[in-house]
Every structure is written in C-alpha cells, then in structure tokens.
C-alpha cells in the first residue's frame, strides 16, 4: 500500500494550477449527456470520481470520448438514457451516486448502484426520500446504503421539496430528476449551497428560476426540458486549491500563486475563514469562465489567530474543514468550528479521523458532537512523527500531507491511494513548489 509523506527544507514558491472543479466536472458530463448534440469540455477533472460518472453515462448510451485532453460528450437528449446492462460502480464517489440517482429517477429504467467500502457506509436516504416522493422506487441495503437498486418513474411527479439539511447534492438530485418530469419541480433551501448546478442548467438552456422568499431560496426547474450542447471550460477546484493555500500560509517564507481557481461565492468560505484569521490571500485577474467566477490567488505565509468560525459558513466550505483544522493547528490561540456534523457522514467521519490524527501529531484538540476545537501552536512547527490513517478518504490524506510540511518529525499518511479520486497530481504540484516527496513504502 503506497504511503504519502511530504517535507520541505524551506519556503514553498512558484505558480501552479490545480485540477478542474469536481462538482462542475460531474455536472458537465451529466448535462452534456442529456443535451442533443456534442458538448465539448476542457479542464475536466480526470480523477477517479469523475471517471466513474463518465463510465456510468457511457453505460446508458452516451458517447463520452477524451481526445487530446479535451472531452467530447454526444448527448442523447432528456429522456433518452438507456437501460444499463450492468451495475453502475461509483467507486468512492458520493457525488456521482446521488446526482445520478436524481438524473435517472425520472427515466423508465432500473439501475443498481455499487461502490467501494467507504461509499457503501454512506447513507443515501437524504436523496431517496425526495425521489420516492417523485415516484421512483428503491431497494437499499440496511441503513439506506449501497448497494441499492432504483426503478425510475415515468412520468415522475413534480414536487416542492424543502431541504432538511443544507446539501447541494440533494438539491441537484431533485432538480436533475425534474428535467424529465412534466411540470415544475422546486427545491427550497434555507441556507444557500453551491450553485454550480443552477448555473450550468441555465447554460444548457433549461428553464430555471431562483427566488428569495421568507422560507428560503426557491429554485425551480420546468420539466421535459430540451438542453442545448455547450462548449465548457472547467475552472480549478477551490477544494483542491485549499491544500496549497493552507500550505503556503503555514510554511514560513512561502509565496505561491494558484492560477485559474473557481471563486464562486457559494464555495469561498475557506477564503473568508482564513482571511479572518489573518491569512495573506490576494485575488487578481478576476474573470468569468463558463459562467463561473475565476481568479488567480497569491498566498503568502502569515501568522494566524484563532477564531470562532461562524457555523453559517459551513455550507460554503464543508469539504475544506479538514485542511482548515490543519491551518488552525498553527494559529495563535483557539479555533472553534461548530455546526459541521455533516462531516461525520462524508467519505469517513472526518471530525473523528482528523481529531485522532492531529492528536497523534501533537496538536491539542477537543472533539465536539458537531465540530472541533483546535489549540494552535502560535506558528511553531507541530511535533509530527506519526503515521496517520487516511481511512479511505482523500481529503484526510491530503490534509495530513500538508500538516507534514511544518513539523519537527515527518508525518506519514498510511494510504495514498484515495488521493487519486480528486487530485491525481497532488504530489507533483507540491514538488513543483519545492516540497519533497519522501519515498513510499
């Protein structure tokens, strides 16, 4: 089993790019598959999660080809997906699973979803409940988990669904199901979540409205849509850039520029949190790419001060909390992060896994039911010297690799394999900035 360990003898410096945004890449493949004609995508994330989505779309009759780094998707039209002949293997990808369940829920076909051990532990009821209301039927494993089999409804029934928890995956699943459902399907969210799905649906020609009401934001899509193919460029994933941002912030003397990062305001909570703690992050070259705001980010080492992170920021940075825990380890004073119980049902229980690994590396933490309190070192290097468990979770693995850049003794992540799900060239990017990859076992 390959391990992962990064060290550095000095500052990180240089300019890098990070892989394309994972959320946008999934949606580009799915909506391209429902448009009539050829959608062309550059910058698509070629990690295992997105490749699982591509394979599933192929299994349902969509021609998906990669030619010279550019992806070509020949869509079959809304309602035109075919019965898959084998189970759809989602690997580690919760996003693929939940969004595809929505996409297929209003099609007259039967699909079985399987996944790896980590994905098979993740609950799916938050998606199956609204989709059952629309008419889809599910047979799940105990605990509403994978493997599961779904029988789509055609015609499905339009619904108005109030999100019980903030979740862009559930929102997108319901809206995707609404594409092939007669009438208007709507979702009400009390807390705004990432809006890539809405932006892209509009770009592909769907009739979609968004209105702020006393109950929250109401997003509605008109069904039996006709989607138009698009030419798309996927911006760099801020969730991947987060590891570089935190590394440059904690390693003394560092100055790094990350080019072409998506800075969608529904995704920039980490930038707000780090800036509030004193981080030196400068945006330049702000522009729009494929309907998404993009900027170059220059990050310099800075002293951080612990804060109480507002829980209302959680939806805009939920995937970035593990690496924010790392940044907090080097702050002056205490950082309190609450309202993030969602992390307990990600690829792993990210609160528990990070707390265990941080303690092993000499960081004082207090685990809460809905969060974590981290006592920072005031900028001093952490003790390190531990081998920590990735627990089949790419963000846990990469977070501890970043921690290892400012420790007294090397930190080793026990399993590097999960990193390929979202950031296949993670080690290469850090080596480009001056870090050193320790030999793997």
- Binding-site residues for 3-phosphoshikimate: 22-23, 27, 167, 169, 319, 346
Helix, strand, coil % over all residues of the chain, rounded to 5: 35, 30, 35
Going across the sheet that includes 334-337, the strands are 308-309, 334-337, 371-375, 364-368
Q: Is residue 215 among the annotated active site residues?
A: no
Dist CA 290 CA 425 (whole Å): 24
Cβ 177 vs Cβ 103: under 8 Å: yes
Q: How far apart are CA 423 and CA 425, in angstroms?
A: 6
How far is residue 104's CA from residue 34's CA, in Å, rounded to a whole number? 11
What DSSP string describes 287-301? Answer: EEETTEEEEEEEEE-
For residue 13, what are the contacts with CB-CB under 8 A and spacing of at least 6?
254, 255, 256, 433, 434
Catalytic residue among 116, 319, 393, 415: 319
Residue 275 to residues 95, 305, 330, 335, 385, Cα–Cα distance (Å): 29, 10, 14, 14, 29
Q: What CA–CA distance (Å, rounded) separates 341 from 313?
A: 13
Interatomic CA distance for residues 94 and 113, integer angstroms? 11
Structure tokens at 209: 């409205």
Measure CA 412 to chain center.
24
**334 φψ region: left (φ > 0), alpha (ψ -120 to 50), beta (else):** beta
Give me the phi and psi of 408, to 5 degrees please.
-85, -25
The Cα 115–Cα 121 span in angstroms is 9
Please state, in angstroms and rounded to a whole number, the distance separating the CA atoms of residues 47 and 423: 6
Binding site members:
22-23, 27, 94, 122, 167, 169, 319, 346, 350, 395
Answer for the pair 388, 357: CB distance below 8 angstroms, yes or no. yes
What is the DSSP track for 105-140? HTSS-EEEEE--TTGGGS--HHHHHHHHHTT-EEEE
Element (H, E) at 200: helix 196-203
Q: Which residues are annotated as a binding site for phosphoenolpyruvate?
A: 22, 94, 122, 169, 350, 395
DSSP state of 174: H
Which residues are catalytic, by number?
Answer: 319
């Amino acid at each position: 089993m390959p391990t992962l360990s990064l060290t550095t003898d000095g500052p990180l410096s240089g300019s890098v790019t990070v892989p394309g945004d994972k959320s946008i890449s999934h949606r580009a493949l799915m909506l391209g598959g429902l448009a009539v004609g050829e959608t062309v995508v550059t910058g698509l994330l070629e990690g295992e999660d997105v490749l699982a989505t591509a394979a599933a779309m192929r299994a349902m009759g969509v021609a998906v080809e990669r030619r010279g780094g550019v992806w070509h998707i020949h869509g079959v039209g809304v309602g035109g997906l075919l019965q898959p002949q084998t189970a759809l293997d989602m690997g580690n990808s919760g996003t693929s699973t939940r969004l595809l369940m929505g996409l297929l829920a209003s099609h007259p076909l039967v699909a079985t979803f399987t996944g790896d051990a980590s994905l098979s532990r993740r609950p799916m009821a938050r998606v199956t409940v609204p989709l059952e209301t629309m008419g889809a039927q599910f047979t799940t494993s105990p605990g509403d988990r994978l493997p599961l089999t779904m029988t789509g409804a055609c015609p499905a029934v339009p619904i108005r669904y109030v999100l019980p928890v903030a979740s862009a995956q559930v929102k997108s699943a319901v809206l995707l199901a609404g594409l092939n459902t007669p009438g208007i399907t709507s979702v009400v969210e009390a807390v705004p979540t990432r809006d890539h799905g809405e932006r892209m649906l509009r770009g592909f020609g769907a009739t979609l409205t968004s209105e702020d009401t006393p109950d929250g934001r109401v997003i509605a899509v008109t069904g039996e849509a006709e989607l138009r193919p698009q030419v798309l460029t996927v911006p760099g994933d801020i969730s991947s850039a987060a590891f570089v941002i935190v590394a440059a912030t904690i390693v003394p003397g560092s100055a790094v520029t990350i080019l072409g990062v998506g800075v969608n305001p529904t995704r920039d909570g980490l930038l707000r949190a780090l800036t509030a703690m004193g981080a030196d992050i400068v945006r330049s070259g702000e522009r729009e790419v494929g309907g998404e705001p993009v900027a170059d980010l220059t990050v310099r080492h800075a002293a951080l001060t612990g804060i109480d992170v507002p829980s209302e920021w959680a939806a805009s940075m939920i995937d970035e909390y593990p690496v924010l825990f790392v940044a907090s380890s080097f702050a002056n004073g205490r950082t309190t992060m609450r309202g993030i119980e969602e992390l307990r049902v990600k690829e792993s229980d990210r609160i528990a896994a990070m707390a265990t690994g941080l303690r092993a590396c000499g960081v004082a933490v207090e685990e809460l039911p809905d969060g974590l309190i981290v006592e920072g070192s005031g900028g001093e290097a952490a003790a390190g010297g531990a081998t920590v468990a990735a627990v089949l979770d790419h963000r846990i693995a990469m977070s501890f690799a970043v921690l290892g850049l400012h420790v007294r003794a090397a930190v080793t992540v026990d399993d590097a394999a999960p990193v390929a799900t979202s950031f296949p060239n993670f080690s290469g990017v850090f080596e480009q900035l001056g870090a050193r990859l320790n030999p793997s076992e």
